[in-house]
Amino acid sequence: MRRLLALTGSFLIVAAALLITWVAVVFFWQDPFTAWYTHRQQAKLAASYDHRVEQFTRRETEDPASDATTSAYPAREITRLALAYGRSLHVGDPVGRLQIKRIGLNMVVVQGTDEESLKKGPGHYSTTGLPGGGQLIYVAGHRTTYLAPFSHIDSIRNGDFIVFQVPYGTFTYRAFRHYVVPSTELSVLQSHGREILRLQACHPRFFATHRYLVDARLVAFRPQGARRTIAVRQVVRAG
């Protein structure tokens, strides 16, 4: 009996040590097992996205209404492209590439925020807009699992650049606001007629009682295939 108790005690000590180590790994880094899954899914999404860019670019090039060569790109043309692209997306499709230098993020955003979609990468709420559409763009991501794209969302600083690349252009945003809301607060999904890129992650880490949000406003845009970047002022006033 004494030996059994000793073995049981040793087992519990080892188990506790492993559990503490696991929690530390996930807290300071991320879950390696789910990260492996998402890494594979990201590779598939990247290949699919490259094909989507080719298809969309070819279709728009053949469209006589499309003109990305003007010095002041019309706002109505950007909106047209955003709407056309949105109609082509389905849940699970790659939307575009999101890059945030401050937190070392460079991942393909997937359409949809259901459980399966978020396992592949940051997810775009399909009821919100797309870059260039002049509306709210809402992107959510995990904080501790599945490559934890928004693990360090709270490290983003006001003024940091956030780049969202889609088939019809590259959009640059600058962060300007950080705040926390209850997970039941649905008003954050409502657009107010301004183009805002809103990033969301659970808060605090390991819990889902609140949402940590970062807002960024559009500052520049470069049409696909163009050499020059257009300031937002030109985009808004043109056309």
Q: How confident is the model at residue 22 (pLDDT cuts 50, 70, 90)?
A: very low
H/E stretch holding 126 = none
**pLDDT tens digit sequence for 186-237:** 999 999 989 999 999 999 988 889 999 999 999 999 988 777 788 876 444 3
Please give the backbone phi and psi of residue 232, each rounded to the nearest 5 degrees, phi first.
-60, -35
Cβ 31 vs Cβ 112: under 8 Å = no
Residue 2 pLDDT > 70, yes or no?
no
* Mean confidence (pLDDT) of the chain: 85
SS3 state of residue 94: strand
CA pair distance 131, 218, nearest whole angstrom: 9
**pLDDT tens digit sequence for 173-186:** 999 999 999 999 99
pTM: 0.81
Bridge partners of 175, per DSSP, are 216
Predicted confidence at residue 45, as pLDDT, reads 97
Tell which residue, 126, 114, 138, 149, has the closest CA to residue 38. 149
Residue 108 pLDDT > 80, yes or no?
yes
Bridge partners of 169, per DSSP, are 166, 223
**pLDDT tens digit sequence for 53-104:** 988 877 765 654 544 444 445 678 889 999 999 999 999 999 999 999 999 9
CA pair distance 127, 125, nearest whole angstrom: 5
Question: What mean pLDDT is predicted for residues 31-38?
Answer: 89
**pLDDT tens digit sequence for 134-158:** 999 999 999 999 999 999 999 999 9
Tell which residue, 71, 117, 88, 116, has the closest CA to residue 226. 71
CATH value of 31-237 in 3.40.640.10, 2.40.260.10, 3.40.50.1100, 3.30.2320.50: 2.40.260.10
> Domain limits of the chain?
1-30, 31-237
